[in-house]
Structure 1
Amino acid sequence: MVNAAEIRDLHKYYDLGEVVVKALRGVTAEFPKGDFVAIMGASGSGKSTLLNILGALDRPTAGQYILGGEDTSILSDDDLSAIRNEMIGFIFQSYNLIPQFTVLENIAVPLQYQRRKGGVGASEMDWCAELADRVGLADRLDHRPTQLSGGQQQRVAIARSLVNDPQIILADEPTGNLDSETEAEIMQVLIDLNNEGRTILMVTHENEVAALAKRQLHLKDGEKVLDGAVSGNGEVPVPAPSAVSAPGGEADPAGNVESAQEDVYSVDETSQDRDVTEIDEWED
């Protein structure tokens, strides 16, 4: 089995002066190509720190991170940035769209960062339009974020994550700001991408969202406490009327993944078919 990524005895420490925070403590895991992993844990468990390292936005204090067969510890910053841009797409909880840009222009942002002086060509903009169509936004190309619903904005973010045709998609609480019905729609998009063979690594605090992944990896106090396959039926349960969503995000010392957005753009296996079953009634 070929791995898209692998971490070996990963440690991440933050020296805060009088205190050394051990955000990750000896975490080892393999992420085979075509896997769909939900990374879970309480606030401060190390989820965001792990996602930062998996996204090549940060380096571990000790241990190895193997990305696309490359040991990232021996790569220069420029080489690490290059492999990140080639292999990884990012989806953020708060969308991180540029308000002045249209849907099409927002999707093209990673290309703008890479081309800089050269600009984005017509064929590349056609590719961005194709991605917009793929996520159901073909009739919204000239709309700006303020003219879109939350679900539509997240679809723009998903299309943007695909612009470099990455093997791995990292999603940080991708449904955290969405209502239940829109959450199901966005999860179906991610499931479809995974069924095409892309590897999805997703941080979430929502059990019903995690149940749609193939596998769950749980962290506690920086250590891996559970890593196993999911045996769900692919349905999103109707939330109880009294249910209150837990707050999104977490207070890892590394900060949230979305804070490194500018860094992101700087420089097969057959999977089981899963569908989100349609729900007739949704409770708020």
Structure 2
Amino acid sequence: MSFAEVAVIGGTGFYSFLDDYEEHPVETPYGAPSAPVAVGTLAGRRVAFLPRHGPHHEHPPHAIPYRANLWALRALGVRQVLAPCAVGGLSDAVAPGDLVVPDQLVDRTFRRVPSYVERGAVHLPFADPYCPGVSGALAAADPELKVGGAMVVIEGPRFSTRAESRHYADQGWTLINMTGAPEAALARELRMCYAPVALVTDMDAGAEVGDGVDQEEVVALFRANLERLSGLLARAIEGLPDPRGCGCSTWADGVELTYEVPGGIGPG
């Protein structure tokens, strides 16, 4: 039975989204997700919401149960995932307060389990890590939103040194974050469409003078933009395309997967 079609995974400072919802605890082969999944109706769609860090920010970025989170959403019927997150800026192409839909991902994490593949030969095509349909719906929902750029994901929970930050900027990367990996790849392995929308909360340590990034600064700016971000997500959900036939799912057609995709293969 499908309880939801679309999911929003909330990031730092974004712990609730739906006004009227039912909570669904989901058992997964990978343990419990960050929280019971809230499911309600928004813009005529059945929408699930899951706070990435837990309802009270219990899970730091390197210890989020990423595999359980994505598996739980897929088990409830979700096929499209919108993933708001807080990011730092690495380039003068962005500034605090900007909303950005990146088009590339650089994974610099090292302690996380990055895949559902534990045996056999299953190699995920991931040249373009984000769903063009979901990214397009996000971009269309706010004319001031910026599109493009690479988001580098670091292990955390500490922020970067100035040298690290300057190195990332020198590569031409635009945004820095702690939670975008392995989340995006896990969604693709489960044949779901996924795209982030990043709120720039600060300029990273190597991109500005002063004391560097401060946790309170990040949370305060994110909270100040919650209403704006929630409105964007609602409009994007209303404009999402039909996921059937999307390459985010069809990549696995004819592939012998060595892990369980809950709820069958979904729209192919």
- TM-score normalized with structure 2 length: 0.30
Q: Greater relative contact order: 1 or 2 (C-alpha under 8 angstroms, separation 6 or more)?
A: 1
Larger radius of gyration: 1
